[in-house]
Amino acid sequence: MEVIGIEDGYEGLIKNKTRKLETKDVSGILTLGGTILGTSNRANPFAYGEEKKDVSKEVFRNFRNLKLDALVCMGGDGTLHIAHELIQLGMPIVGIPKTIDNDVGATDFTLGFDSAVAVATEAIDNIHSTAESHHRVMIIELMGRYTGWVALHAGVAGGGDIILIPEIPYKIEKICEEVKRRSKIGKRFSIMVMAEGVKFSVIDRSLPAGRRGASGGEDRELVVKRKVKDSTDPIRLGGVSYKIARQIEDLTGLETRVIILGHLQRGGKPTDFDRILATQFGKKAVDLVLAEKFGEMTSLQCGEITSVLIESAIRNLKKVNLDSPLIEAARGVGTCFGD
């Protein structure tokens, strides 16, 4: 088999940026994070550039000119949605789920998730000493977009006292009660681990209680850091932790500091779990190509490597189940979820 590397994701197919990959090119890269080919989240062939042009015909032309028999697309929700659109037009594609957010359906875990959790957990470990020494509430904000997988797993692994995830609406009063309770029993610090996609709840107390709506008058909104016009996902989340920190200080008088881990989560060496999963997914993807099972994606289910239709994987964003055994275990050891 001859392998052609497409550089910078779909950008490489649009602008015909490719290079042949041989054994020497990939030897030794198992320990590396990221990608040797580069990537881009601003190259949707069906809405390319600021003008949102449909350049899918160019993609097909370049695909044919390269004499490719199949395209293997590695990525998360955005990448796989585009792959599905190309499949509908007849392109032979096999998918591999790769995102630290772990929000792709029909697979237990995605590539990169475990490594991101490991980095976040180490950061939480390092925060404990300064939080305890200075008697502070420390908030660690983690990536994850609209789901709480990274925050939940890292929060539990790192011993977070409070964990906030998008799937569980929080009440600032509950958070403040918890940090004050801990302070009263001699625990003069609290570690809060939160996802960037939690909803910031604002109660308009200028309205009479009867006019605040069925939800108590809470206006839940995502905190958007900025928007990128030509991106496949234009919304950039981040910064909700600062708003929560101000509320905690105002309502409790306890000094509160914020750490936003940001893109540090995406760096470093992959964990052994991710290295093994990547090897298994790669082998499975080649099997799918040889069997001409196009339109399918590699998947990990109950410890077994299998495949599913890409369409089923992207049908719904995979969110944390509220009856998750991990949430149950965390509550069992006293973790507060702000609800």
Residues belonging to the active site: 101
Nearest CA to 42 among 102, 95, 5, 82? 82
Q: Give 289's contacts (C-beta < 8 A, 6+ positions apart).
A: 69, 70, 72, 94
CB contact at 8 A, 87 and 93 = yes
Beta strands in 54-157 (DSSP E): 71-75, 93-97, 137-142
Q: Which secondary structure element, helix H or strand E, spans residue 299, and what is its range? A: strand 296-301
Taking the CA atoms of residue 211, residue 213, residue 215 and residue 216 in that order, the dihedral angle to the nearest 10 degrees is 0
For CA atoms 243, 245, 250, 251, the dihedral sign is: positive
240 alpha carbon, distance to own chain's centre: 16
Interior angle at CA 119, CA 115 and CA 123, nearest 5: 165
Q: Write the DSSP symbol of residue 53.
A: B
